[in-house]
Amino acid sequence: MPIRIGNAPCSWGVEFAQDPRNPAWETVLQECAGAGYKGIELGPIGFMPEDPNQLADALAKHDLTLIGGVVFRPFHDPDAWAEVMDAAMRTCKSLVSHQAKHLVLIDSISPRRAPTAGRVAEAEQMDPAEWDAFRNRIATVAKMGTEVYGLTVSIHAHAAGFIDFEPELERLLDEVDPQILKICFDTGHHSYAGFDPVAFMRRHIDRIAYMHFKDIDPAVKASAIANRTGFYDACGQGIFCNLGKGDVDFPAVRQVLLDAGFDGWCTVEQDCDPTLDVRPADDARANREYLESIGFK
């Protein structure tokens, strides 16, 4: 299967299922298909219908494949474990019912980390016992997704969580069995963290099972670092820009994927702040056109 390009509800500002600012899920499907995509992620569980027949009919109407889903929950918080597991199991069931493949695990934004997004030297670290418990919670969900539901489970580094910077991601990869945990590599979050996405891909391409395409506005990033801007404020300033307008070298990303014989989905994620004056459908189309211009089909 050649590389295929999808999109995700977060490109329409959908981060939390019950956010009243969310567009209708039907609108997201319609605009995603209208922008030229053939695949879409589930979004936060509860945003799209959990009734498999209802969602299957809507996907078929728009000729869309469900690619996967994300569990964006506070793995760092032991008191939130029931919430994490509920979201994980519901997401797994939804994915399996639509023959989707990818379960992506993301440690959600922590108040302890949000103020130092992009500044590795200043970020608070977990103590050894806290890290061990954190790692084990991730491994538990990864094992469940892989062995119970037959999914490909990947970890996704995310600004302002406790898997943010490259050393943390590589430590986790070293400590969790690669048979149950792969990488969903997000080009933009890696750049935001202050590391080279292409260099990381070259080192770890054998473990990358899935890609998220995101770009970073270098001027906003530089300002955020210089002014010690927290994650939420940086998002409000537009740190996540259209693909090809930022500092991620997407032609080089494409070449690494081609050289490795990568086959599967790469999903565009231009996280947007729904309080800003944004037009997600226009951005989705522009991102699709940019990727086509550099050789992605």
* pLDDT exceeds 80 at position 40: yes
Cα separation, 105 vs 181, whole angstroms: 9
CB of 60 within 8 A of CB of 52?
no
Residue with tokens 């080009």: 187
Mean per-residue pLDDT of the chain? 96
Write down the pLDDT at residue 1.
Answer: 62
**232, exposed or middle or buried, with CB in 10 Å at 0-12, 13-18, 19+?**
middle
Cα separation, 178 vs 154, whole angstroms: 10
Write down the pLDDT at residue 285.
Answer: 97
Cα separation, 33 vs 91, whole angstroms: 22
Q: Per residue in 73-120, pLDDT tens?
A: 999 999 999 999 999 999 999 999 999 999 999 999 999 999 999 999
3-class DSSP state of 235: helix
- Residue 174 pLDDT class (50, 70, 90 cuts): very high
Write down the pLDDT at residue 236.
Answer: 85
Q: Per residue in 181-199, pLDDT tens?
A: 999 999 999 999 999 999 9
Which CATH number does the domain housing residue 62 bear?
3.20.20.150
The arithmetic mean of pLDDT across residues 36-50, rounded, is 98
Cα separation, 218 vs 220, whole angstroms: 6
Cα separation, 109 vs 7, whole angstroms: 22
Residues in the chain, total: 297
- Residue 232 pLDDT class (50, 70, 90 cuts): confident
- Residue 235 pLDDT class (50, 70, 90 cuts): confident
* pLDDT exceeds 90 at position 283: yes
The arithmetic mean of pLDDT across residues 130-155, rounded, is 98
Among candidate residues 103, 101, 123, the one with its CA nearest the CA of residue 112: 123
Backbone angles phi, psi at 279, to 5 degrees: -125, 85
The arithmetic mean of pLDDT across residues 222-236, rounded, is 90
Please give the tally of structural domains in the chain. 1
**48, exposed or middle or buried, with CB in 10 Å at 0-12, 13-18, 19+?**
buried
Question: Model pTM greater than 0.85?
Answer: yes
Among candidate residues 222, 221, 277, 269, the one with its CA nearest the CA of residue 242: 269
Q: How far is CA 211 from CA 20, 184, 285, in A?
A: 29, 5, 19
Q: Per residue in 4-19, pLDDT tens?
A: 999 999 999 999 999 9
- What is the residue range of 109's domain? 4-293
The arithmetic mean of pLDDT across residues 20-49, rounded, is 97
271 compared with 248, residue with greater pLDDT: 248
